[in-house]
Amino acid sequence: MAIVQPQPVTEDGRRRIRLDSPVDRHHVGDLEISSKAEVDAAIERARAAQAEWAARPVAERARILRNVVDVLVRRREEIVEQVRAETGKPRAEALTIEVVPACDFVNFWCKRAPKDLRDEKRRLHGYLLPMKKLRIKYQPLGVVGVITPWNAPFVLSLNPVVQALLAGNSVVLKPSEVTPRSGELAVKVLHEAGVPADVVQCVHGDGETGAALVEGDVDKISFTGSVGTGRKIASSCASSLKPYTLELGGKDAMIVCADADLERAASGAAYLSMFNSGQVCLSVERIYVVESVADEFIRLLKEKVSALRYGSEDGDVGPLFFDKQMDVVSGHLKDATNKGAEVLVGGSRVSGEGLFFQPTVVVNATHDMELMTEETFGPIATVMRVRDEDEAVRMANDCKYGLGGSVFTRDAAKAERIGGQLTTGSVVHNDAAVIYGVPEAPFGGRKDSGVGQVNGLDSLRGFTHAQPILLTRGSPKGESVWYPYTDKTIRNLDGLIRYGFGNKLLRKLLS
């Protein structure tokens, strides 16, 4: 359903969007847009339902949401078919990208939630310890608005929604208008698992609907999508001091070191730049190869990409999911060739009605090309030769994005050293993109790639307010610094400074 065409407003005043298949452009249905009044009503229902949901113990919420895994297993074929109907991605990718991680995320978060969200005792330091006790309560924020993209429409809807629900919030989800039914299906799965209807709801629409959700009476926004939309959301949330997380675009660099296993590196470059038709925020979009191994790497990469099957739903590389993306991919490639880049494989749209673009290998790339500076989001492996690994690091960091990166080398210590020099949210050794599927790892971008982090061991707490409660030990009759101030007050404070912090041994004990 990637070809989106606005339809005239109907007699009842409702807006609709026509949805066509990216595979062959046949009409697959119309999407009725949720009005601002309907979005506000959904938020109101969510707020009314949230208190009862939050009152359930964390373990009970986890027990309900653990049922989601059973539903996913039972309805996996329906999920695959729905995702494929909207995106045309190969069955293997629908399973790998959407269903497998969805099962894993839900299973993982349900296990973590009772531990991560329980009240926490924190030991105080120094002179406060005899007088006070500190407790931290992780309170739900209330109603969370979740806005999700079209490239992985099922799992990118389910993952943040499940985290927010486990934390005791209610959720209003707005999936992309390009892939609306996949997001809607995630909500249906949650309902079937036992989550009350008003605790998680789905509204549909385009940017106007998203703006209504962001500007509505919600307590946090979780957004995954484009940089431009992310900036608008940040501005809107700032006006009401509303917290948000933004998972935005990327232009991830792959560094191929002189000691890399070139067979693996070339296989990785082919797959990691083209799986999901290259439409992954963590897709490899820039490949920096040390000069001494560049010829052999390029030979292997050309060989592997030339063998890829495409042009149908049963191939290795599926269609682009969104018609507007075809213009971006074609435009970036034209700009590169006009500036001296050479296309070794592919390089054009596949003839026919669908949105297929040939798997493509480009060499002789430079940083004055859009193909090396702007997010392309298409099946293109772009290679740039570099003198050495230091130059590769400099070029990788010469980018307005900072989502992920990868280092291909036989030396894990070298990968860690180089990775530590990259200004990115994450780095992967001899692989890429997989980091989002590692729930223990904090995931988020730097620079234009986002604000905040999702996943990681503090992820569930990101949907809560950490409320400190400071308890007083015993039943003191007063405090040493309360009124009235006396000479003794001054002596006590001065003594604490002189003898407590002025003595290195006591200072250490007070830390």
C-alpha separations of 350 from 248, 335, 347 in Å:
29, 19, 9
The dihedral sign for the CA sequence 167, 173, 179, 182: positive
Q: Which of 281, 285, 375, 389 is catalytic?
A: 281
| Structure-token match 């979740």, residue found | 146
Q: Which of 89, 71, 244, 200 is nearest to 152 (CA)?
A: 89
| Structure-token match 């939630």, residue found | 113
Percentage of the chain surpassing pLDDT 90? 89
Distance CA 124, CA 13 (A): 60
Q: pLDDT at position 155, please?
A: 98
Domains of the chain in start order, with CATH, are: 33-248+457-465 (3.40.605.10), 252-438 (3.40.309.10), 481-510 (no CATH)
Q: pLDDT at position 353, please?
A: 84
User: For the segment 122-171, what is each residue's pLDDT rounded down to a tens digit?
Assistant: 999 998 898 999 999 999 999 999 999 999 999 999 999 999 999 999 99
Distance CA 330, CA 316 (A): 20
| Structure-token match 């190869």, residue found | 289
User: Is 90 exceeded by the pLDDT of residue 9?
Assistant: no
Please compute the mean of the pLDDT values over residues 206-225 and round it to a whole number: 98
Q: pLDDT at position 7, please?
A: 60
The dihedral sign for the CA sequence 480, 481, 483, 489: positive
Query: What angle separates helix 100-116 from helix 58-74, to the nearest 10 degrees?
Result: 170
- pLDDT classification of 213: cutoffs 50, 70, 90: very high
State phi, psi for 145 to the nearest 5 degrees: -95, 125
User: Is 70 exceeded by the pLDDT of residue 270?
Assistant: yes
User: Is 70 exceeded by the pLDDT of residue 334?
Assistant: yes
Please compute the mean of the pLDDT values over residues 364-372 and round it to a whole number: 98
Q: pLDDT at position 34, please?
A: 97
Q: Which of 214-223, 345-354, 394-403 has the lowest mean pLDDT?
A: 345-354
Q: Which of 86, 98, 215, 247 is catalytic?
A: 247
For all residues of the chain together, what is the average pLDDT?
95
Percentage of the chain surpassing pLDDT 70? 97
Q: pLDDT at position 316, please?
A: 97
Which of the two residues, 469 and 511, has the higher pLDDT score? 469
User: For the segment 11-67, what is each residue's pLDDT rounded down to a tens digit?
Assistant: 567 889 999 989 988 888 899 999 999 999 999 999 999 999 999 999 999 999 999
User: For the segment 417-467, what is each residue's pLDDT rounded down to a tens digit?
Assistant: 999 999 999 999 999 999 999 999 999 999 999 999 999 989 999 999 999
Distance CA 468, CA 128 (A): 15
| Catalytic-residue membership of 247 | yes
Q: pLDDT at position 300, please?
A: 98
User: Is 90 exceeded by the pLDDT of residue 314?
Assistant: no
Distance CA 286, CA 152 (A): 21
**Length of the chain, in residues:** 511
Q: Which of 3-17, 288-302, 317-331, 496-510 has the lowest mean pLDDT?
A: 3-17
Q: pLDDT at position 11, please?
A: 55
Please compute the mean of the pLDDT values over residues 255-272 and round it to a whole number: 98
Q: pLDDT at position 1, please?
A: 52
Q: pLDDT at position 458, please?
A: 92
User: Is 60 exceeded by the pLDDT of residue 406?
Assistant: yes
Q: pLDDT at position 272, please?
A: 98
Contact (Cβ atoms closer than 8 angstroms) between residue 227 and residue 248: yes
Q: pLDDT at position 251, please?
A: 98
